[in-house]
Amino acid sequence: MKLVHKVMDFEVGQADEAARTFWAVASSPTVDRQGDLIEPAGWDFANFLKNPVIPWSHDYASPPVARALAVKVENGRLLFKAQFPTAEEYAFADTIYRLYKGGYLRAFSVGFAPLESEAATHKLGGRTISGTRYTRQELYEISCVTLPANPEALVALGLGGPRPNPSPAAPFTPSPARTPGAPGAVHPLAARALAQAALGELIAARLRYHLGLLN
């Protein structure tokens, strides 16, 4: 079943420094830029709570930066209690924790499988847009994020998402050394320029998605 990812703004509550926890409260349900609406009463958390890890930016190949101790819907809003490792356990996760505490980060991305939905039309910014109203959905993951990820751009660069099992390695055959000017050689400066261009495309795609210019 295809997962749907939606970035939601959360209000981060007062942190418990001893336990390194805080409650994150989702904004009231509103229509997003794609014309979609998630009904809070439709969340199913049962399977998520069996392994409630919270990765950074949908990076499933790296250790999680937090875990969800509790998830619930209250007063029509999605809430969860996040707990972060100490700096000694995972320095990067500690940085993320402090960025949320300081208000530099406030978004989380929820990944879910739609169970029941219907087509819907909404008014947004003075225009009518068509989208989806999700009435029942199973929560699969919560990720800490800055900007929403463009899955196509991430796959193109080999980043994010579950990584496929590697195919059996072929026998290694040394290739002749390539020197600048040799047939088929790639100049180091050209290789660097290609890498920078690919990174620029990724950043631009994520910004377009964040601004509602790309579905």
pLDDT band at 117 (very low <50, low <70, confident <90, very high): very high
Three-class SS state of 215: coil
| Model pLDDT for residues 1-27, shown as the tens digit of each residue | 688 888 887 888 889 999 999 999 886
Q: What is the CA radius of gyration of the chain?
A: 21
∠ CA 106-154-200, nearest 5°, is 85
Domain regions of the chain by residue span: 4-146, 149-160+184-215
Tell me what the mean pLDDT of segment 101-126 comes to: 88
Question: Which DSSP category does 56 fall into?
Answer: B
Give 141-187 pLDDT, tens digit per residue: 999 998 654 443 333 333 333 434 444 544 544 444 444 455 555 45
Instruction: Write down the pLDDT at residue 34.
Output: 80
Mean pLDDT lowest among 11-15, 47-51, 95-99, 179-183: 179-183
Cβ 161 vs Cβ 3: under 8 Å? no
DSSP summary character for residue 63: -
pLDDT at 30: 79
DSSP per-residue string spanning 27-40: PPP---TTS-EE-G
* Per-residue DSSP letter, 16: B
